[in-house]
């Protein structure tokens, strides 16, 4: 009897979920206080934030000095952003002649534009092969000058962000073909070719970049015939290319190894020779597969350019360091390094996000 | 048909020599080796000519000469009157010391941060993510200069040193902390610790065998932990608890007593650990995510506790993914320790650099650095490969 009664009863009106499981409180309970351990963690994290963040905000914003004629007037409890206001052009463009600094600025814009264009998948292919040589020639004209009424600027004076970009981008562009040859060499059937490739890759990957840079700056002049000199920038650039190629070669090898054997056999069956098989069948598939790690490698190369300050080139980090030595503006290391770090961060963060996005798109087909 | 029968019995005609793949391969290799040899020979010839012109003697004879430069921090006895070889040894020990310490600390920091990124606690996960993104995307030399500037430039003089904890001083001369004065009791404690380890291992084996045979469990892990802490503590108390610390004291313009961590070493270690830790955190996170959730669910269905689930099911599978990239992070930390030259910590590269400037023996100096780093890299690879073999998937 009772069963039937219940069945005939009018259903209760829908009730709102309990207050503590929805809205802000519900979110807090689910994400911050869902267990004893998490509650303790949250309390510790909030405490740590409370003792570190307010002093940092006070230093960076509230107590900061935004305008000051010199370092003395700027010294206080907070950050001296006036130092950056005074020095930003030097940090960005360094010793490049002041009146001509629109040229490196344009070069930076060009580099960023070319990188952005290369990120667009619709551009991949022949169009990029036209864009890059044209862009690099234009960059060369702008940096060196000496034609079209532009004043000639020797490489000694190249500095700051343009130099960092030149080292990283040109380094990667030239390292890439070399890396492909090394990777092919490492997988070659010919023992001599394979051994030389393995020896080169492992040797370079086993030593720090510093030693390669030292070698380029100290030993390269010894290697060359007497009376034959090459300038410092080219030496560092060579070191970068030789170093990056070894790492890139391993990335490319990863792609080569992932090609199914059937592809190669099919190419052989079609009567393609080694080079045509490699160029038309193997490389297009292998390279497309390794684009995300290639981008990661590029981030590494970009960060590695900061090492050239050891051999006395004025990259972005070194110009920031040099700006610190001004007698009128002493003791603002934190401000200069934060400014520089922010620039590096913007480039690297963008590229790492881009590589993550590519990985997601590439994996789409492999996911269930 | 006729042509087929005709082909049978007829030797396949040998291709012309320039079409024979085997012969072509040999010819190509000979040409390639000759080219490489020619390039190396050309460079070597130029180098000898240039060196002779600059009156620089080749060879490693300079290593026996007096170095005549001081080194700020040494782990082994060294004075400027010692030889260059000794100076190199000092640099090598410093490099090994900072790398070993850095690898241990970076692994701890990276693992903690990697797990924190996977935490169900939103705040902790976000903070870990900010740490990883911030430090991974800023060049290491910049970070080193920043820490060094903070420790050397922005820290106060010894007279106004910060004292975050009693006895711990931070000044521009470095970080000072008290050390216990030497006492024979400590040796006994070390011995007790060793004994505890041996007993714990024996108990562990016994407990494992018993579990295999009877299925009954024994808390061997807790017993081992208790022994490792308890036995030395008991010895410590039995010896009369000789806890006498040597405190750093301000004397004149600097501190005396205690142990000091120089700003250079401190900055290098902090920079290396924080930078590498951010990469290790990502590796650990990826490794744990690579273990499919079904494994954890299966473990839960078997009634394993969260700790057991992690230790017995998730971690062994995650380690397979984690170990190989971890090896390359350890290698890159070791190689990155050479950036010490930027902030003036006397590591191998920095001392070799001074030596090369003094003697002009650039070829030998760089060859020595390269040889040492290659040796270190190969040893780390070897050790990690051995470890990797123990965690790798055993396939039948």
Residues B46-73: pLDDT tens digits? 888 887 877 777 777 777 777 777 777 7
Q: Is A164 on the interface with B (CB under 8 A)?
A: no
At A106-119, the pLDDT tens digits run 888 888 888 888 88
What are the tokens at A252? 């490319």
Q: Are residues B366 and A215, on separate chains, in Cβ contact within 8 Å?
A: yes
Closest CA–CA distance from residue B344 to any residue of chain A (Å): 11
- A358, pLDDT greater than 80: yes
Residue B1 — pLDDT band, cuts 50, 70, 90?
Answer: very low
Sequence-ordered alpha helix ranges (H) in chain B: 2-7, 21-53, 84-117, 122-136, 140-148, 184-214, 220-238, 263-290, 293-301, 306-308, 315-336, 340-343, 348-359, 362-391
Average pLDDT, stretch A171-197?
A: 89
Q: A288 and A361 in contact (C-beta within 8 Å)?
A: no
Please name the residue of chain B whose CA is at the shortest distance from the CA of residue A226: B50
Q: Is A345 on the interface with B (CB under 8 A)?
A: yes
Question: How many contacts (CB atoms, under 8 Å) link A and B?
Answer: 156
Q: Are residues A31 and B121, on separate chains, in Cβ contact within 8 Å?
A: yes
Point out the residue among B145, B150, B363 whose CB comes nearest to the CB of A321.
B145
Q: Is B360 on the interface with A (CB under 8 A)?
A: no
Domain ranges of chain A: 16-62, 80-95+163-360
Write out the DSSP string of A291-331: HHHHHHHHHHHHHHGGGGGGGT--BHHHHHHHHTT-TTS-S
Average pLDDT, stretch B103-117?
A: 92
3-state secondary structure of B240: coil
- Say which range, B35-49, B130-144, B331-345, B382-396, has the weakest mean pLDDT: B382-396
Q: Which residues of A touch B149 (CB under 8 A)?
A: 333-334, 337
Instruction: For an interface test with A, give the residue of B18, B38, B112, B137 to mutate (most A CBs within 10 A).
Output: B137
Residue A180 — pLDDT band, cuts 50, 70, 90?
Answer: very high
Q: Is A291 on the interface with B (CB under 8 A)?
A: no
> What mean pLDDT is reported for chain B?
82
Give the per-residue pLDDT at A7. Answer: 55
Q: Is B369 on the interface with A (CB under 8 A)?
A: yes
| Bridge partner list, B179 | B246
Q: Which residue has the higher pLDDT, B315 or A18?
A: B315
- B392, pLDDT greater than 80: no
- A76, pLDDT greater than 80: no
Q: Which residues of B touch A192 (CB under 8 A)?
A: 29, 32-33
Closest CA–CA distance from residue B46 to any residue of chain A (Å): 5
Q: Which residue has the higher pLDDT, B247 or B358?
A: B358
- A2, pLDDT greater than 60: no
Question: Which residue bears the tokens 């490389």?
Answer: A283
Give the per-residue pLDDT at A270. Answer: 92
Q: What is the CA radius of gyration of chain B?
A: 30
Give the per-residue pLDDT at B25. Answer: 83
Q: Are residues B149 and A341, on separate chains, in Cβ contact within 8 Å?
A: no
Closest CA–CA distance from residue A348 to any residue of chain B (Å): 5
- B43, pLDDT greater than 50: yes
| Bridge partner list, B162 | B170
Write down the architecture of domain A80-95+163-360 according to CATH.
Orthogonal Bundle (1.10)
Q: A294 and A250 in contact (C-beta within 8 Å)?
A: no
Q: Which residue has the higher pLDDT, A303 or B220?
A: A303
**Separation between Cα atoms, residue A5 and residue A1, nearest integer Å:** 6
**Separation between Cα atoms, residue B361 and residue B56, nearest integer Å:** 7
Write out the DSSP string of B326-374: HHHHHHHHHHHGGGHHHHT---HHHHHHHHHHHH--HHHHHHHHHHHHH
Point out the residue among A206, A225, A317 whose CB comes nearest to the CB of B141.
A317
- The topology (CATH level 3) of B84-162+261-391 is MetI-like fold (1.10.3720)
Point out the residue among A38, A45, A310 whose CB comes nearest to the CB of B342.
A310
Q: Which residues of A touch B119 (CB under 8 A)?
A: 38, 41
Average pLDDT, stretch B81-109?
A: 89
Closest CA–CA distance from residue A145 to any residue of chain B (Å): 31
Average pLDDT, stretch B154-167?
A: 70
- A368, pLDDT greater than 60: no
Residue B109 — pLDDT band, cuts 50, 70, 90?
Answer: very high
- Say which range, A1-15, A64-78, B108-122, has the weakest mean pLDDT: A1-15
- In the stretch 139-158 of chain B, residues with CB closer than 8 A to chain A read 139-143, 145-146, 149-150, 153-154
> What mean pLDDT is reported for chain A?
83
Q: Which residues of B touch A191 (CB under 8 A)?
A: 29
Residue B333 — pLDDT band, cuts 50, 70, 90?
Answer: very high
Q: Are residues A219 and B366, on separate chains, in Cβ contact within 8 Å?
A: yes
What are the tokens at A186? 């490492």
Give the per-residue pLDDT at A206. Answer: 87
Residue B381's contacts (CB-CB under 8 Å, 6 or more residues apart) are B327, B331
Q: Which residues of B touch A164 (CB under 8 A)?
A: none
- Say which range, A121-130, B25-34, B303-312, has the weakest mean pLDDT: A121-130
Domain ranges of chain B: 20-55, 84-162+261-391
At A218-276, the pLDDT tens digits run 878 778 777 777 788 888 898 999 999 999 998 898 888 888 888 889 998 998 888 88
Q: Which residues of B touch A207 (CB under 8 A)?
A: 335, 369-370, 373-374, 377
Residue B274's contacts (CB-CB under 8 Å, 6 or more residues apart) are B109, B135, B143
Q: Are residues B335 and A307, on separate chains, in Cβ contact within 8 Å?
A: no
Point out the residue among A32, A208, A305 whose CB comes nearest to the CB of B121.
A32
Average pLDDT, stretch A48-63?
A: 86
* Burial track A284-297 (b if 16+ CB lie within 10 A, e otherwise): eebbebbbbbbbbb
Give the per-residue pLDDT at A364. Answer: 64
Size of chain B in residues: 396
Q: Are residues A223 and B378, on separate chains, in Cβ contact within 8 Å?
A: no
Give the per-residue pLDDT at B395. Answer: 63
Q: Which residues of A touch B43 (CB under 8 A)?
A: 223
- B238, pLDDT greater than 50: yes
Q: B279 and B307 in contact (C-beta within 8 Å)?
A: no
- B6, pLDDT greater than 60: no
Give the per-residue pLDDT at A10. Answer: 73
Give the per-residue pLDDT at B8. Answer: 54
**Separation between Cα atoms, residue A44 and residue A53, nearest integer Å:** 14
- Say which range, A72-76, A104-108, B362-366, has the weakest mean pLDDT: A72-76
- B358, pLDDT greater than 60: yes
- In the stretch 187-246 of chain A, residues with CB closer than 8 A to chain B read 189-193, 196, 203, 205-211, 214-215, 218-219, 221-226
At A320-352, the pLDDT tens digits run 888 888 877 777 888 888 999 999 999 999 988
B169: alpha, beta or left, given left = phi > 0 and alpha = psi -120 to 50? beta
At B274-306, the pLDDT tens digits run 999 999 999 999 888 888 889 989 999 999 888
Give the per-residue pLDDT at B258. Answer: 65
């Amino acid at each position: 009897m009772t069963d039937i009664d219940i069945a005939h009863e009018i259903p209760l009106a829908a009730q709102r979920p309990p207050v503590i499981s929805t809205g802000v409180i519900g979110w807090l309970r689910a994400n911050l206080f869902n267990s004893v351990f998490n509650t303790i963690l949250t309390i510790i994290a909030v405490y740590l934030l409370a003792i570190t963040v307010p002093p940092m905000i006070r230093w960076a914003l509230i107590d900061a000095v935004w305008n000051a004629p010199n370092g003395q007037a700027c010294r206080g409890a907070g950050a001296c952003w006036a130092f950056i206001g005074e020095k930003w052009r030097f940090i960005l463009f360094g010793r490049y002649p002041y009146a001509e600094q629109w040229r490196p600025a344009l070069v930076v814009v060009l580099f960023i534009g070319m990188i952005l264009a290369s990120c667009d998948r619709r551009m991949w292919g022949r169009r990029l092969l036209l864009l890059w040589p044209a862009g690099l020639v234009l960059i060369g004209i702008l940096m060196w000058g000496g034609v079209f009424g532009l004043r000639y600027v020797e490489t000694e004076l190249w500095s700051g962000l343009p130099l960092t970009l030149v080292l990283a981008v040109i380094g990667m562009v030239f390292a890439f073909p070399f890396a492909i040859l090394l990777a092919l060499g490492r997988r070659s059937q010919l023992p001599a070719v394979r051994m030389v490739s393995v020896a080169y890759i492992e040797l370079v990957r086993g030593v720090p970049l510093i030693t390669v840079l030292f070698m380029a700056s100290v030993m390269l002049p010894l290697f060359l015939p007497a009376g034959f000199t090459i300038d410092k920038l080219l030496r560092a650039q060579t070191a970068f290319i030789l170093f990056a190629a070894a790492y890139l070669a391993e990335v490319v090898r990863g792609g080569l190894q992932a090609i199914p054997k059937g592809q190669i056999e099919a190419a052989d069956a079609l009567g393609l020779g080694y080079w045509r098989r490699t160029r038309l069948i193997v490389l297009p598939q292998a390279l497309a597969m390794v684009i995300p790690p290639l981008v990661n490698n590029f981030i590494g190369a970009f960060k590695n350019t900061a090492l050239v300050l050891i051999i006395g080139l004025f990259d972005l980090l070194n110009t920031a360091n040099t700006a610190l030595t001004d007698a009128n503006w002493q003791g603002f290391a934190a401000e200069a390094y934060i400014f520089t770090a922010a620039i590096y961060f913007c480039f690297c963060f963008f590229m790492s996000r881009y590589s993550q996005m590519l990985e997601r798109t590439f994996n789409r087909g492999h996911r269930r | 048909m006729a042509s087929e029968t005709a082909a049978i019995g007829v030797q396949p005609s040998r291709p012309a020599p320039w079409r024979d793949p085997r012969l072509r391969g040999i010819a190509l290799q000979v040409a390639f080796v000759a080219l490489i040899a020619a390039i190396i020979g050309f460079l070597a010839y130029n180098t000898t000519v240039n060196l002779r012109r600059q009156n620089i003697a080749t060879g490693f004879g300079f290593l026996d000469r007096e170095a005549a430069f001081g080194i700020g921090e040494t782990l082994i006895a060294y004075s400027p009157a010692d030889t260059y070889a000794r100076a190199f040894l000092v640099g090598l020990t410093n490099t090994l010391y900072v790398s070993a310490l850095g690898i241990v600390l970076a692994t701890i920091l990276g693992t903690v941060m990697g797990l924190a990124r996977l935490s169900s606690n939103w705040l902790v996960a976000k903070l870990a993510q900010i740490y990883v993104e911030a430090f991974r995307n800023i060049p290491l030399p910049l970070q080193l200069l920043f820490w060094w500037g903070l420790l050397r430039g922005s820290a106060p003089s010894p007279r106004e040193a910060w004292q975050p904890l009693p006895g711990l001083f931070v000044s521009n001369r470095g970080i000072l902390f008290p050390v216990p004065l030497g006492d024979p009791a400590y040796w006994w404690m070390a011995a007790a610790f060793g004994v505890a380890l041996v007993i714990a291992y024996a108990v562990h084996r016994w407990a494992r065998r018993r579990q295999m045979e009877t299925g009954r469990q024994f808390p061997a892990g807790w017993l081992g932990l208790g022994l490792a802490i308890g036995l030395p503590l008991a010895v410590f108390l039995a010896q009369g608890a000789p806890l006498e610390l040597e405190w750093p004291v301000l004397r004149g313009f600097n501190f005396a007593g205690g142990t000091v961590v120089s700003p250079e070493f401190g900055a290098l270690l902090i920079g290396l650990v924080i930078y590498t830790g951010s990469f290790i955190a990502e590796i650990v996170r990826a490794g744990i995510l690579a273990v499919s959730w079904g494994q954890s669910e299966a473990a839960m269905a078997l009634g394993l506790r969260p700790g057991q689930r992690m230790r017995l099911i998730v971690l062994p599978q995650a380690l397979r993914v984690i170990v190989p990239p971890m090896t390359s992070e350890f290698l890159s930390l070791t190689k990155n320790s050479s950036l010490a030259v930027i902030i003036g910590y006397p590591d191998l590269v920095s001392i070799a650099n001074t030596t090369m400037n003094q003697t002009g023996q650039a070829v030998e100096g760089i060859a020595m650095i390269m040889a040492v780093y290659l040796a270190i890299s190969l040893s780390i690879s070897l050790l990690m490969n051995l470890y990797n073999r123990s965690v790798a998937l055993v396939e039948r």
